[in-house]
Amino acid sequence: MTPILETKNLVKVYKVGKVETPALRGVSLSVQKGDFVAIMGQSGCGKSTLLHLLGGLLSPTSGEILIDGEDISNISDAKRTDIRRRKIGFVFQRFNLFPTLTADGNLRLAERIHIGNGKGNPEKRREILRVLKLENKMNSKPLELSGGEQQRVALARAVINSPAIILADEPTGNLDTQNSEIVLDMFAELNQRFGQTIIMITHNPEAARHCGRIIQMRDGHIVGPED
Q: Say whether pLDDT at 116 is over 80.
A: no
pTM of the model: 0.89
Per-residue model confidence (pLDDT) at position 227:
41
How far apart CA 110 and CA 200 sit, in angstroms, is 21
DSSP one-letter code for 106: H
Strand pairing partners for 11?
25, 62
* Each residue's pLDDT tens digit, 183-218: 899 899 889 888 899 999 998 898 999 999 999 999
Residue 166 phi/psi, 5-degree rounding, is -105, 130
* Each residue's pLDDT tens digit, 23-47: 999 999 999 999 999 999 988 899 9
Angle at 220 between CA 186 and CA 93, to 5 degrees: 30
Sign of CA dihedral 178, 182, 187, 192: positive
For the domain covering 5-224, report its CATH number: 3.40.50.300
Structure confidence at residue 81 as a pLDDT band (50, 70, 90): confident
* Each residue's pLDDT tens digit, 135-166: 899 999 999 999 989 989 999 999 888 898 99
211 vs 86, higher pLDDT? 211
Contact 215, 38 (CB under 8 A): yes
DSSP one-letter code for 208: H
CA distances from 114 to 93, 158, 163, 176, 217 (A): 22, 11, 10, 32, 33
* Residue ranges of domains in the chain: 5-224
